[in-house]
Amino acid sequence: MAKIVGSITTSHVPAIGGAIAKKLQEDPYWKPFFDGFPPIREWLAKVKPDVAVIVYNDHGLNFFLDKQPTFAIGAAPEYRNADEGWGIPVVPSFAGDLDLSWHLINCLIADEFDIVTCQEMSVDHAFTLPMALLWPDQKWPVRTVPVCVNTVQFPLPTAKRCYKLGQSIGRAIESFDRDSRVLIIGTGGLSHQLEGKRAGFINKQFDLQFMDSLISNPTWATQFSDLDLVEQAGTQGVELLNWLVARACLTGRASLKHSNFHIPISNTAAATMLIENQG
Amino acid sequence: MNSPKSNRQISGTTVFDGDAARKGYALNKMCYSFNAQANREEFLRDEDAYCAKFGLNEQQRAAIAHRNVLELLEAGGNAYYLAKFGGIFGLDMQDIGAQQTGVTKDEFKAKLVAAGR
């Protein structure tokens, strides 16, 4: 049977793509962020996942507002990145995992999550940059399953619903009849706001409390509405919903192996966590 | 049943809800097209014709002409789509943040650094 090895959560700021392309990992501005990854890469080399389920939000590459699904799952043999309009380099394509995709789709719909299924899907920086941070040589050693959460158009799925989605994905993975080691990746956040007179809003205290809650009290964030999250974490800080889904996938005891928090990267409180799924 | 939609206001913040999505559809659709290099070039060759092709209203057309982010938000623009418009001019998020908050880019960046203390 498949086994979930853990969840890795990280910010996905587009400027990270520019920094990778310009090899700025040791630059004083970028170093405090990139330094969060070597311990995670060591862990990955040890646990060797063969599939990654990536929970992220599309920013207008695959989905436009003509069709904006609340939850969508990829079921494609391959996922490609593309020009997003601001010149960050396109990364190599990602292999899909059709058997796991359809297993998740079948299980989630049986569990009353009426998700959108996508047999063709482009993936944007929210998917590609975390992968490039985990595997800098961009020779992806895992097959992938994208899980896309709407954080673009309000109303967003509630935090409570996101948590339940994660739990359902976790149960589904562990009922998958194949020896597979599955990594969950949750991307986005933490606090930031791009638009309006409140642009540049960051809430360090809330971010640190949220990160702590993922270990000590994982349902803590489910008390918040989408507008509560905007108020606390900023209009784009709501991407923490992807982290919540990724955390809720863990079926065993959650053990924090590594974390990093740095303000700012671009307009964002940039954070990374590695949570191992034990037992 | 009453609509669960909230009228709650958050200071200095535009929430991209159904009202904004309806109002900004043409503008956001044009900005979505900027994912393609050929479309960015077409916009730069003839801005008027390109805006007309997407049916922008007067308010949206003026906001595009002014390159003004607060006006674009007021016209229903979504931050993620507007970022693709900003990308045409090589603007990053600190340029856009500084413009909206009425400070220089250096002042905006200093404010972000201060948030980490």
> Is residue B109 in a domain?
no
Among A239, A231, A227, which residue's Cα sits nearest to residue B7?
A: A227
The pLDDT assigned to A86 comes to 83
> Is residue B105 in a domain?
no
Chain B residue with the nearest C-alpha to that of A29: B113
Give CA–CA dist B74/A35, Å, rounded. 39
Fold held by A3-278: Protocatechuate 4,5-dioxygenase; Chain B (3.40.830)
User: Domains in chain B: how many in total?
Assistant: 1
Q: Name the residue ranges covered by the structural domains of chain A.
A: 3-278
**How high is the ipTM of this complex?**
0.95
The pLDDT assigned to B19 comes to 96
Its pTM stands at 0.98
> Is residue B4 in a domain?
no
> Are A153 and B81 an interchain contact pair (Cβ–Cβ within 8 Å)?
no
Quote the domain boundaries for residue B67.
18-90
CATH number at residue B70: 1.10.700.10
Nearest to A200 among B18, B35, B97 (CB): B97
> Is residue B5 in a domain?
no
Interface list for B 84-103 with A (CB within 8 A)? 84, 86-88, 92-94, 96-97, 100-101
Among A195, A205, A268, pick the best mutation site for testing chain B contact (most B Cβ within 10 A). Answer: A195
Amino acid of residue A188: G
The pLDDT assigned to B1 comes to 60
The pLDDT assigned to B6 comes to 78
> Is residue B2 in a domain?
no
**Residue A48: HSE in the Cβ half-sphere, 13 Å Cα cutoff:** 3
Cβ–Cβ contact A28 with B under 8 A: no
Q: Chain A: nearest CA to B38, how far in angstroms?
A: 11
- DSSP, res B36: S
pLDDT by 10s per residue, chain A, length 279: 999 999 999 999 999 999 999 999 999 999 999 999 999 999 999 999 999 999 999 999 999 999 999 999 999 999 999 999 987 889 999 999 999 999 999 999 999 999 999 999 999 999 999 999 999 999 999 999 999 999 999 999 999 999 999 999 999 999 999 999 999 999 999 999 999 999 999 999 999 999 999 999 999 999 999 999 999 999 999 999 999 999 999 999 999 999 999 999 999 999 999 999 998
Instruction: Flag residues of chain B having pLDDT under 50.
Output: none
Interface list for B 17-76 with A (CB within 8 A)? 17-18, 21, 25, 28-29, 31-32, 34-37, 40, 69-70, 73
The pLDDT assigned to A264 comes to 97
> Is residue B65 in a domain?
yes
Interface list for A 29-58 with B (CB within 8 A)? none
Q: How far is CA B37 from the centre of its chain?
A: 19
The pLDDT assigned to B4 comes to 80
Nearest to B94 among A84, A87, A267 (CB): A267
> Is residue B112 in a domain?
no
Chain A residues within 8 A of B88 when measuring between CB atoms:
85
> Is residue B1 in a domain?
no
Cβ–Cβ contact A253 with B under 8 A: no
Exposed / middle / buried, residue A248 (Cβ in 10 Å: 0-12, 13-18, 19+): buried
